[in-house]
Amino acid sequence: MNEYDSKRIFDIVGKIGYKKTDDQENADCYIINTCHIRDKAKEKVYHEVGRIKNIYSNKNKPIMVIAGCVAQAENQEMLKREPFIDVVIGPQSYHKINKILKNFQINKKEEETEFDTISKFDLLEKTKNSDNAVSSFLTIQEGCDKFCHFCVVPYTRGPECSRPYKTILAEAEELIKNGAREITLLGQNVNAYSFTENNKEFRISSIINELENYSELKRIRYTTSHPIDMTEDLIDCYYSNKKLMPFIHLPIQSGSNKVLKLMNRKHKVEDYLDIYSKLVKINSSIKFSSDFMVGYPGEEKSDFEQTIKLVEEIKFINSFSFIFSSRPGTKASKLKEYDINQSKERLVELQSNLFKNQINHNKSLINKNIDVLIENKIEKQNKYFGRNEYLNPVILDGDKNDIGKIVRVNIENCNQNSLFGKITNKMEAA
């Protein structure tokens, strides 16, 4: 979502004449868009500000803006800790950035951290999305009302808020006109999307079904979804919708019901398995990926073993896994943390199981012909980059006319992260 937000911030500041530059030594303004989900991210921000400060030690400083969730969570603290920072602006206030930049005065610190999501969505509607990537993101929902005990999102992104249905379709049309062949619908809880107009409720399934009608659009994805919002209408999309990719990122966090309860996840392992079996029954080629957390306060060895068992049962083909990081203001921050070495050991064991699944999946594609959407040429190489239906990176020979097309590729080799192959048929797959 930060990638999407960063692009939209560029669209907004472009209205008052700012342009992107690679000239790090002569910029008028730096904007760092930040993530606060784990502690390391915050320190990275100060490190990056320090690096920029060194560049400008002997000349006029640029306007230094910190945007995103670290700005939201730390606000005044950041201005005090690092005087080189001029402006902090939260993720639901970035539509106000032009007013701040236009009125900027040296030595006048600015802070904007209101949850003003509706007026942000209004401004996004009025600001042309200039993204021209083959695979584009489109935010449909932001915020979270679920309050998992470990997570800062409800505090940094605010309550769940869905964008108006028609605005989303208008932005999708723009992206498609700009060359998007794949759209990933985004939200902190993307499948909680709900917008009511004229007594009709629109859900994420409504958006997916509508997007299916755009002939130039070839692929639809969404992320990140929550198990409790995997409603029947969304599951039904996997019956009817040919453009919805058979790959679902559905975070579970732990394979132990006890830990899920401690985390306030509001779903059980059985609910997750039920969703999995319903989807695989609809389409046996559907694959899952997930988010996992180890070392959550209260996670015992037997709980961790249940997570490992789940990973053996559902062959997740790609996942994110983290050690619990205590976040200020969350309920879990009051709990006693585990021995970090034990958490590290658990993470290593979990990841070795996840990587085994990942590499087995990649190997299973060797000598197969698969559909790949070609996204771009790889810089300084005579190779092209694309992705298969499961979002695996595919590296291949191609030419620039293939960008934006779905081609058939014979997979010859793989490593843990990528597949390598040759185009066998340039006729665009349906």
What string marks each residue from 218 to 247 as x (binds ligand SF4 by CB under 6 A) or -?
--------x---------------------
- Note the residues at the interface with ligand SAM (CB under 6 A): 37-38, 150-151, 153, 188-189, 224, 226, 251, 253, 291, 293, 322, 324-325, 327
At its nearest, how many Å lie between ligand SAM and the CB of residue 320? Answer: 7
Per CB under 6 A, contacts with ligand SF4 among 184-203 are: 188-189
- Name 160's Cβ contacts closer than 8 Å, sequence gap at least 6: 141, 142, 143, 144, 145, 188, 189, 192
Nearer to ligand SAM by C-beta: 79 or 248?
Answer: 248
Among the listed ranges 79-87, 145-153, 163-171, 380-388, the one in contact with ligand SF4 (CB under 6 A) is: 145-153
Say which entry of ligand SAM, ligand SF4, none residue 324 contacts (CB below 5 to 8 A, set by partner kind).
ligand SAM
> Per rule CB under 6 A, is residue 260 in the interface with ligand SF4?
no
Binding of ligand SF4 by 322 (CB under 6 A): no
Size of the site for ligand SF4 (CB under 6 A): 10
Considering only residues 341-370, where is the footprint of ligand SF4 by CB under 6 A?
none
Question: Is residue 148 a contact residue for ligand SF4 (CB under 6 A)?
Answer: yes
Residue 410 and residue 424 in contact, taking contact as beta carbons nearer than 8 Å: yes
Task: Residue 337: name the closest of 301, 364, 299, 304 by CA.
Answer: 299
Nearer to ligand SAM by C-beta: 253 or 256? 253
When CB distances are held under 5 to 8 angstroms depending on the partner's kind, the choice from ligand SF4, ligand SAM, none that residue 147 binds is ligand SF4
Place of tokens 């398995």: 273
Smallest distance from ligand SAM to CB 380, Å: 33
CB of 109 or CB of 146, closer to ligand SAM = 146
Q: Is 151 in the site for ligand SF4 (CB under 6 A)?
A: yes
**Greatest distance between any 2 Cα atoms in the chain:** 65
Which residue's CB is nearer to ligand SAM, number 150 or number 222? 150
Give me the least distance between CB of 164 and ligand SF4, in Å please: 22
Residue 324 CA neighbour count, 13 Å, CB half: 30
Nearer to ligand SAM, 218 or 327 (CB): 327
Taking the complex as a whole, the smallest distance from the CB of residue 273 to ligand SAM amounts, in Å, to 16
Residue nearer to ligand SAM on the CB measure, 174 or 291: 291
CB of 38: closest distance to ligand SF4 in angstroms? Answer: 12
- The sign one gets for the Cα dihedral 173, 179, 183, 188 is negative
What stretches of 212-339 show up as alpha helix (H) in DSSP?
232-240, 257-263, 269-282, 301-313
Instruction: From the list ligand SAM, ligand SF4, none, pick the one residue 304 interacts with, judged by a Cβ distance below 5 to 8 Å according to partner type.
Output: none
* Cβ neighbours of residue 317 closer than 8 Å, sequence gap 6 or more: 247, 287, 288, 289, 357, 358, 361, 390, 392
Residue 310 near residue 255 (C-beta atoms within 8 A): yes
Helix (H, G, I), strand (E, B) or coil at 183: strand
Give residues with Cβ within 8 angstroms of 341, minimum separation 6.
none
Interface with ligand SF4, residue 38, by CB under 6 A: no
Tell whether omega for the bond before 224 is within 30 degrees of 0, i.e. cis: yes
Please, are residues 65 and 93 in contact by the beta-carbon 8 Å criterion? no
Give the CA angle between residues 181, 185, 186 to the nearest 5°.
135
- Going by their DSSP bridges, the two strands 369-377 and 406-414 should be labelled as antiparallel
Among 154, 255, 295, 297, binds ligand SF4 (CB under 6 A): 154
Binding partner of residue 322 among ligand SAM, ligand SF4, none, CB cut-off 5 to 8 Å per kind: ligand SAM
Residues 123 and 12: beta-carbon distance below 8 Å: yes
- What residues line the site for ligand SF4 (CB under 6 A)? 144, 146-148, 151, 153-154, 188-189, 226
